[in-house]
A and B are shown apart, each in its own frame.
Chain A
Amino acid sequence: MLTLFGVVSVIFFLFNVLPGDPAQMMLGQNEDSAQLAIVKQKYGFDKPVSTQYFYYLNDLSPISLHSKNTGDYTYLRPGKYSAIKLFAIGNTTLVLKFPYLRESFTKQGKKVSAVLAETLPNTFVLAVSAIVIAMLLGIFLGIISALFKDRWLDKTIQIFSTFGMSVPSFFSAILFAWFFGFILHKYTHLEMTGSLYELDDYGESNHLKLKNLLLPAIVLGIRPLAVVIQLMRNSLLEVFNQDYIRTARAKGLSEFQIIKRHAVKNALNPVVTAISGWFASMLAGAVFVEYIFGWNGLGKEIVNALNTLDLPVIMGSVLVIALLFIIINIFVDIIYVWLDPKVKLQ
């Protein structure tokens, strides 16, 4: 909670020292001073920074105060907030509402929350697929690597893993799109770009196109895959040195049984922690992959917003990703206890 407050503050102050005038940005080239004043008043840009900061917090907080004066920024304009009135104190109303992320500058009047609701699920699907690929393949390759420690198979996997960590994601995305979507298009039938849902040829209905998911998910999964391989290998090697593995061997269990029953679950701990950390940064890292594959997700939206300086969209995206990161971390702590009963929740 405190962390979230810090994140909100950091974001607000970073974006408020920007040299440009947000009201001017919204109106584009329109040099109408009267209109400018209206916009400034409507969005509270005419107020000092501290007041604007309070407005921002008030907008985001689920429980907030709102004025009854129509001229005030916090006035409960219909359509602006989706709120339930709790009770009134004098001129102000206390309401329970969905956090209000403000409106996009460039898409006139469109709420940032609506933009996020459109794009976030797509990114989520992409990130989850990538993580699943990375986890399954990574754990498998990690086990192999640990079993054949210091032999050529292990060394090949190690080199592959270091390789995967050092390729910039935009570069691998370009190469994959080019190679599988263009050169091998005849055999793979994959497109260079494409989203999860696409309009059909008649432009009427949205189609689910699962094959478009394949390339971006693989590309996005490369880095986590490399990390999982390394972690899995190292932690498995450590587990192999434990006494209970020696006991299991002495009992005459097959190597497969030892790995399946005794080693993997205990070796998974660091992998799970790392992967969850990766998940949130993947939501952000998807920026490049989505941009190149034309995947209609949050990352592409961020790039667009960057080019048009659509600040509320950028602020909202950063905020949502940070929130997800915090939530995921709480989940990780719970999974951690399940995997390792020695750790107790505080």
Chain B
Amino acid sequence: MSSESNSLKQVALQKFKKNFWGVFSCCIIVFVGIISVFAYVLAPDNSQYANQMHLPIHSKKPGFSVTMLTIPSQMESHQSRFNKIFFGNKNSATEIPISSYSISSHTLTYKEYASDGLDGVEKTLSLSVFPSGTVENYLNKKTFLFGTDKYGRDLLSRVLVGARISFFIGFVAVFISLIIGIFMGSAAGYFGDKIDAFIMWIINVTWSIPTLLLVIAITLALGKGFWQVFIAVGLTMWVEVARVVRGQIISAKEMQYVTAARALGFNDFRIITKHILPNIMAPVIVISAANFASAILIESGLSFLGIGAQPPMASWGAMIKDHYNYIILGKAYLAIIPGLCIMGLVMAFMLVGNALRDALDVKG
């Protein structure tokens, strides 16, 4: 229908589609989103948090490959398939990197992998450990595309699983900030007077404490952990949303459609939610995209300081923290890969924010 294509949303969408970087960034975000949801399916190491350590092959170069002996776990697994896909395999087999092996009728003799030209320990294992007689199935060549970290974990898997936290914190923090921000902002803007003065005071107080320090204080109060960081970041970012909503509502309040709604006898709640808010969503959307980016930055910063996600959970910031000392040892990629990931994702959100701003015609 022709009338539909003229709606504001359609126009904005058309404008957005013309912005190459905006669309490109959108694709990146969707791509990272899919990765973070299906991280354990895509990752070579599907143990929980991609935490399969092989100390003998720690911090190896990207593309390193080794023969890996997999000794199946003796414990019964009660994990459902669904659970395995989304939370990783909690009960994984033991993996031993080996340099050579020989098979006799009942035993398997293998030499453990040792780096720097050292000789590995030779060990023998009864073949009965392996369920079906074919030992060769448990001896595989394993390649580490991004190399291994300082505990010998697969860096690629850690990066994939780490995408989750960055992506997730953006959602949770933006969600919390939107709820509080819209509520506070519209109350202040719509009712004015004492409520406005009081809410502006809260806004000023929160605004005066630098975001990073406030988040640190809140995480200290709530305890370490990634949920606490989610909440803390959300609790600091609502201020910007509230300021924008308040400003918009103050000017929208004088519009005729609000007067009309008042004349019809609608209550305040209905006027705000049904009439004003849909009209002022554009700047809020733009701010949310920016908040998404800064939430990712703050989380990585906190993880870098060690007060974000706790090990063994994989987080990009924590990965940089673990490995930035290796940078002068010629293993810069250990810190640079997660760093580039953070940068890429943040940049994608910023570009989407810019594209949205142009498409929705928001000033500032």
Which residues of A are in contact with B by a Cβ distance under 8 Å? Answer: 2-4, 6-7, 10-11, 14-15, 17-19, 162-163, 165-171, 174-175, 178, 182, 192, 280-281, 283-285, 287-288, 291-292, 302-303, 306-307, 309, 314, 317-318, 321-322, 325-326
B residues near A2, Cβ cutoff 8 Å: 201
A residues near B204, Cβ cutoff 8 Å: 3, 6
A178 CA to B327 CA in the complex, in Å?
7
Q: Say yes or no: A15 contacts B221, CB within 8 Å.
A: yes
Q: How many whole Å from B116's CB to the nearest CB in chain A?
A: 23
Q: How many whole Å from B330's CB to the nearest CB in chain A?
A: 10
Q: Say yes or no: A7 contacts B327, CB within 8 Å.
A: no
| A19-B208 in contact given A162-B347, A306-B305 (Cβ < 8 Å) | no
B residues near A17, Cβ cutoff 8 Å: 221
| A14-B342 in contact given A6-B202, A163-B347, A317-B213 (Cβ < 8 Å) | no
A165 CA to B218 CA in the complex, in Å?
25
B residues near A169, Cβ cutoff 8 Å: 301
Q: Which 4 A-B pairs rank lowest in CB-CB distance, beginning with the nearest?
A: A284-B210, A6-B205, A166-B347, A166-B346
Q: Say yes or no: B208 contacts A166, CB within 8 Å.
A: no
Return the chain A residue nearest B212 by Cβ. Answer: A284
Q: Say yes or no: A18 contacts B210, CB within 8 Å.
A: no
Return the chain B residue nearest A238 by Cβ. Answer: B363
In the assembled complex, B171 has its CB within 8 A of some CB on chain A = no
B residues near A4, Cβ cutoff 8 Å: 208
Q: Say yes or no: A306 contacts B307, CB within 8 Å.
A: yes
Q: What are 5 residue pairs bridging A and B, where the CB atoms are less than 8 Å apart in the complex?
A: A7-B208, A11-B209, A166-B350, A182-B328, A321-B209
| Those of B322-351 within 8 Å (CB) of chain A | 324, 327-328, 332, 335-336, 339, 342-343, 346-347, 350-351
| A14-B220 in contact given A174-B324, A288-B301 (Cβ < 8 Å) | yes
Q: Interface size bucket, B side? A: 35 or more
In the assembled complex, B300 has its CB within 8 A of some CB on chain A = yes
For chain B, what secondary structure do more than half of its interface residues adopt (helix, strand, loop), or is it mixed?
helix
Which residues of B are in contact with A by a Cβ distance under 8 Å? Answer: 201-202, 204-206, 208-214, 216-218, 220-221, 223, 293, 297, 300-301, 304-307, 317, 320, 324, 327-328, 332, 335-336, 339, 342-343, 346-347, 350-351, 354
The one of A15, A170, A283, A307 that contacts B301, using a Cβ cutoff of 8 Å:
A170
| A174-B351 in contact given A11-B217, A15-B217, A17-B221 (Cβ < 8 Å) | no
For chain A, what secondary structure do more than half of its interface residues adopt (helix, strand, loop), or is it mixed?
helix
| A-B contacts at CB below 8 angstroms, number | 123
A11 CA to B214 CA in the complex, in Å?
9
B residues near A281, Cβ cutoff 8 Å: 210-212
Return the chain B residue nearest A167 by Cβ. Answer: B343
A103 CA to B213 CA in the complex, in Å?
20
A residues near B306, Cβ cutoff 8 Å: 307
Given A162-B354, A192-B328, 14 more pairs with CB closer than 8 A: A6-B204, A6-B205, A7-B209, A10-B209, A11-B209, A19-B223, A162-B350, A162-B351, A168-B343, A178-B327, A281-B211, A302-B213, A318-B209, A326-B208
A302 CA to B301 CA in the complex, in Å?
14
A139 CA to B211 CA in the complex, in Å?
26
The one of A182, A303, A321, A325 that contacts B305, using a Cβ cutoff of 8 Å:
A303
Q: How many whole Å from A157's CB to the nearest CB in chain B?
A: 14
A285 CA to B304 CA in the complex, in Å?
13
Q: How many whole Å from A14's CB to the nearest CB in chain B?
A: 5
Q: Say yes or no: A174 contacts B209, CB within 8 Å.
A: no
Return the chain A residue nearest B299 by Cβ. Answer: A168
Q: Say yes or no: B347 contacts A318, CB within 8 Å.
A: no
Q: Say yes or no: B339 contacts A174, CB within 8 Å.
A: yes
| A166-B293 in contact given A6-B202, A7-B208 (Cβ < 8 Å) | yes
B residues near A287, Cβ cutoff 8 Å: 212, 305
A200 CA to B119 CA in the complex, in Å?
46
A284 CA to B214 CA in the complex, in Å?
10
Q: Say yes or no: B332 contacts A178, CB within 8 Å.
A: yes
Q: How many whole Å from A329's CB to the nearest CB in chain B?
A: 8
Q: How many whole Å from B301's CB to the nearest CB in chain A?
A: 6
Residue of A4, A170, A171, A175 contacting most chain B CB atoms (<10 Å): A171
Residue of A11, A174, A175, A285 contacting most chain B CB atoms (<10 Å): A174
Q: Say yes or no: A283 contacts B210, CB within 8 Å.
A: yes
